[in-house]
Chains A and B, each alone.
Chain A
Amino acid sequence: MLKYVIKRVFMVVPVMIGVSIIVFALMRVFSPDPAPIVLGQHATIEKIEAWREVNGLNEPVITQYFNYLSGALKGDLGTSYYTKTPVTEEIFARFPATIELAIAAIIFASIVGIGLGVIAAVKKNSIFDAAGSLFALVGVSIPIFWLGILFIMFFSGFLHWFPSGGRIDVLLKPVEVTGFYMVDAIIEGNWTAFGNALEHLVLPALALGMYSMAIITRMTRSSMLETLSQDYIRTARAKGIAETKVIGKHALRPSLIPVTTVIGLQFGSLLGGALLTESVFSWPGIGKFTVDCILKSDFPVVQGIVLLVAVIFVTINLVADLAYASLDPRIKYSSKKER
């Protein structure tokens, strides 16, 4: 087990180095010069030169990359062109918001997706199946930013059930410990703040999770149908155990094996989707920040974010893989798995 994990972790290293090279090249070689954007159109040549010197942009690109890499290994991802704050600080100030949103979204997507998928498969060709399939189809077809807009129109504007944006009412903001407001509110024992944070979280989490929910529904349904046609389901029924046990144990467990992989992949793509959802709901997370930084060419921050997201993405997939292996006794850790 440990050997397998170590091996997988080592497979991640070249991928991460590759990602850093690609992103670095995109930002420093192919992008237009950020200086005029950062300093303004009317900056003097001397000023620009001085700025380039300070930010190390006058060195050969290779040297720049190795400086960046050695810094990154020490946890230094450079400083923002604008705020002069270390990139890591900028990122970690906003990161918990995004993770909180993504976790809420994936929980919603997994629970509802697996539930709908199982019902659709068990009641195949029934109205439930048709409704579930239609729901899933719309879920993958609707742009998440538009879904967010519709949610705001309906649930905030029309029904006034939920706030239309933000993470929490300013006055209720708990003392930051973890950066996850809901957790922080619990730590503080402030249930009003907890409820308020939850209210703010509902719409963006639903909007963000909808696509993943649809994918998980489809995957669960097809996986479950596959399992239900297996001989061992017939064996289970022949044993005379309750049908709920046949479905909930014998059919569900093997069906969930491929679904775990999908959930892992979906969590990664939620971090991408957060770019859009956060913009719609003014969610002060990393996604909205990324878009802002790209628009104003704050490249060190963008590089840092892309690298961090890649690390998370790869780690989640590794975790999903391990979960996969633990669910399926047939998989031996020593065997090399195609990824």
Chain B
Amino acid sequence: MSEWNQSSVDEVPMRGSESQKADETFAMGIALPDGEIPVYEHDETLHDKPENQWLEMWRSLRANRAALVSLVFITALVVIAVIGPYITPYNPIETEMSNALKPPSAEHWFGTDQLGMDIFSRVIAGTRVSLTVGLLAVSIALTTGIILGAIAGYAGGWVDTVIMRLMDMMLAVPSILLAITLMAALGKGIDKAVIAIGLVSIPEYARIVRGNILSIKENDYIAAAHVVGLSDARIIFRHVLPNALSVIIVRATLGISSAILDTAALGFLGLGVQPPQPEWGDMLGRARGFIFQAPHTLLYPGMAITATVLAFNLLGDGLRDALDPRARIK
């Protein structure tokens, strides 16, 4: 990782012609930077082979216990999302009014809600909705954002201006307000929620990609790619995007968590999933009136949201640290 290990001490490579170089070495120092914390930074040049980068990232991520636990938790959530509906102890949409608002017990681990539905079953079944919405919304935002950002950054000029002004307009309205305004136009429903949440987070990705492209565009190797006659699209996909990828991955991971939060918020406001389909935010919204009467109805769905969002945030933070050599040192 450091230069140190690579250079054998007994090397005698100096010849007259290299004296200049060696003199510079002396002046600038190849060794411990004076007065600074001696860090031997990983040479994070753009020419790094991607394989190494991913391997490096994985190693660093594995060392981060919180991120690793989150990864395990998220994997478990994915499993629950897939098989959840088949393993719930009760039918999550079956009402039993005679058994409404019962506190947690051996039969109903998380108790029952105002319609007598088993909260544990509904929380389990709701995992699928939250994860799907999170992933789909981010996919929409990511694809559109990358394309718009890449076009803006790469083309520049008026194309850039038009796209980025549009992004500015979207950013001028708080995302949740924009999302519910979109929902008003699109109508209620989970599919509409996915679109609304996806659309409002486009600008973030577009900006990241554009910013990266602008900074990378000036690099020599991009110029070199131009010289050898590669097409623009090819340059973007083969050279520019892989370099922006790490930032995008981190952003997307954190984006899933905010998409899940937004989904829950829309559900809470009654705009997302329509009952009786189980969704965490919607469960909270509908049980709100029973806050003092049956607090358990409001506890577990909220915990499910928080835990899931927390896991994606921790993973995203872990990925960012893993990808940023400076953060690693800190």
Contact = CB atoms under 8 A, between A and B. Distances in A.
Interface of A: 14-16, 18-19, 22-23, 26-27, 30-32, 137-138, 140-143, 145-146, 149-150, 152-153, 157, 164, 225, 268-269, 271-273, 275-276, 279-280, 290-291, 294-295, 297, 299, 302, 305-306, 309-310, 313-314, 339
B292 interface: yes
Contact of B184 (A297, A310, A314): A297
Chain A's interface: helix, strand, loop or mixed, by majority? helix
A272 B177 contact: yes
Chain B's interface: helix, strand, loop or mixed, by majority? helix
B174 A15 contact: no
B310 A138 contact: yes
Given A19-B173, A145-B268, A137 B284 contact: no
Interface size class of B (residues with CB under 8 A): 35 or more
A22 B183 contact: no
A310 B176 contact: no
Contacts of A305: 177
Given A18-B166, A149-B298, A306 B175 contact: no
The 4 closest A-B pairs by CB, nearest first: A272-B174, A146-B302, A18-B169, A141-B310
B255 interface: no
Contact of A23 (B181, B264, B298): B181
Contact of B177 (A15, A16, A157, A290): A290
Contact of B174 (A26, A142, A143, A271): A271
A27 B184 CA distance: 8
Contacts of A140: 309, 313
Contacts of A149: 284, 288, 291, 298, 302
Given A141-B257, A276-B176, A150 B269 contact: no
Interface of B: 165-166, 168-170, 172-178, 180-187, 257, 261, 264-265, 268-271, 281, 284, 288, 291-292, 295, 298, 302, 305-306, 309-310, 313-314, 317, 330
A197 B193 CA distance: 36
A95 B264 CA distance: 26
Contacts of A295: 270-271
A275 B184 contact: no
A269 B265 CA distance: 14
